[in-house]
Amino acid sequence: MKVTRILYRGSLSSCNYACGYCPFAKTTNTREELDRDRDQLQRFVDWAADCRQPLGVMITPWGEAIIHRYYRNAMIDLSRMDHVHRIAIQTNLSGYLGDLEDALVDRIAIWATFHPGETDLPRFLDRCATLQRLSIRFSVGVVGFQEHFDEIAELRKRLPGDVYLWVNVPKSSGIDYSDEELRFLSSIDPYFRWNLRRWPSLGAACQTGHTSFTVDGEGDARRCHFVDDVIGNIYRDDIWSLLKPTACPNSTCGCHIGYVHREDFGLDQLYGENLLERIPLTWPKIDFPMTDEPTSIPLTPLRPIR
């Protein structure tokens, strides 16, 4: 069965955290803006209910979404649609989670990011424990700033072993790791090297625009969050007839939610049906080819075992 993956990003643009590198740090939306975002999300949920195509949906908000009850309600509703195989969301995990118990747990998943300085480890681990109590699958991630290495190590130590901890590299900050730092980060996240650089991508075969696309609050669909061209509008067009394989038009791609769709990377074999929530299929068993020495990370990723 072919599941189309949709990344939804509405007009929300606010967050309760204050991460220094983020444009949404400590921003707020007005009541009117939140009402608009809620109406947009409901329209998308209604469209998803009617479309009857096998779907996987990932909410990738600007800012923090799940703190708003209407996002939790939308996830619950989507999880209860027979043709929606996955509903996942990116979150800082700061908000109330209890009502997600009404979701179908085999369909819902969470991409949670730990932000040292914005919350503390006990509080974050408590939220992870809540997800476990609810039997909701989740991955945890951190941004690999050197000043957070102690907390990252402690987080790995205290997270249950069956929870995958990924590391994103703050590439735009021009970070440059020493060999020792690379080894440390690879020990935390054995798949970290995929995120270490922006990959040359112009002309690369990429599933976005074919088996995956993004939708904004107005229903405009784009192949991915990094290419502005609009494919069509899910509310006005027969979007399914507009999806087709096309090569990447960008010179590079450096974000997980983009490059996982590269056909030559084969990362669908690493994540399988858990690709949206970034949980390796076999975690904690590692059976994807890796380099032993992080400094020898090749420019072109290794081919996966087929």
What minimum distance in Å lies between the beta carbon of 262 and ligand SF4?
5
Task: Single out the residue of 24, 47, 149, 177 in contact with ligand SF4 (rule: CB under 6 A).
Answer: 24
Q: Residue 127 or residue 262: which is nearer to ligand SF4 going by CB?
A: 262
What minimum distance in Å lies between the beta carbon of 264 and ligand SF4?
10
Task: Single out the residue of 111, 261, 270, 279 in contact with ligand SF4 (rule: CB under 6 A).
Answer: 261
What minimum distance in Å lies between the beta carbon of 50 and ligand SF4?
27
Q: Which span sits near ligand SF4 by CB under 6 A: 29-37, 156-164, 221-229, 276-284?
A: 221-229
Spatial separation of the C-alpha atoms in residues 233 and 238, rounded to whole Å:
8
Query: 107: closest CA among 277, 282, 292?
Result: 277
The size of the interface with ligand SF4 (CB under 6 A), counted in residues, is 25
CA distances from 179 to 14, 149, 186 (A): 37, 14, 10
Q: Residue 166 or residue 226: which is nearer to ligand SF4 going by CB?
A: 226
Task: Single out the residue of 110, 253, 267, 279 in contact with ligand SF4 (rule: CB under 6 A).
Answer: 253
Q: Give the pair of three-digit tokens for residue 29.
A: 């939306």
Place of tokens 């039997």: 135
Q: Residue 22 or residue 49: which is nearer to ligand SF4 going by CB?
A: 22
Residues in the chain: 306
Is 259 one of the binding residues for ligand SF4 (CB under 6 A)?
Answer: yes
Spatial separation of the C-alpha atoms in residues 289 and 303, rounded to whole Å:
8
Query: 136: closest CA among 106, 165, 114, 156?
Result: 106
Number of Cβ within 10 Å of residue 72's Cβ equals 21
For ligand SF4, the binding residues in 157-196 under the rule CB under 6 A are none
Half-sphere exposure of 104 (CA within 13 A, CB side): 13
What minimum distance in Å lies between the beta carbon of 222 and ligand SF4?
9
For ligand SF4, the binding residues in 86-145 under the rule CB under 6 A are 92, 115
Spatial separation of the C-alpha atoms in residues 219 and 8, rounded to whole Å:
9
Task: Single out the residue of 17, 47, 145, 235 in contact with ligand SF4 (rule: CB under 6 A).
Answer: 17
Spatial separation of the C-alpha atoms in residues 146 and 198, rounded to whole Å:
19
Task: Single out the residue of 7, 15, 103, 128 in contact with ligand SF4 (rule: CB under 6 A).
Answer: 15
DSSP 85: E
Q: Which span sits near ligand SF4 by CB under 6 A: 70-78, 161-169, 247-255, 269-277?
A: 247-255
Spatial separation of the C-alpha atoms in residues 206 and 5, rounded to whole Å:
13
Query: 278: closest CA among 303, 304, 260, 290?
Result: 260
Is 19 one of the binding residues for ligand SF4 (CB under 6 A)?
Answer: yes
Contact between 81 and 49 (Cβ < 8 Å): yes
Is 208 one of the binding residues for ligand SF4 (CB under 6 A)?
Answer: yes
Q: Which span sits near ligand SF4 by CB under 6 A: 52-60, 148-156, 162-170, 257-265?
A: 257-265
What minimum distance in Å lies between the beta carbon of 42 and ligand SF4?
22
Spatial separation of the C-alpha atoms in residues 266 and 258, rounded to whole Å:
13
List residues binding ligand SF4 (CB under 6 A): 15, 17, 19, 22, 24-25, 63-64, 92, 115, 201, 204, 206, 208, 223-224, 226-227, 248, 250, 253, 258-259, 261-262
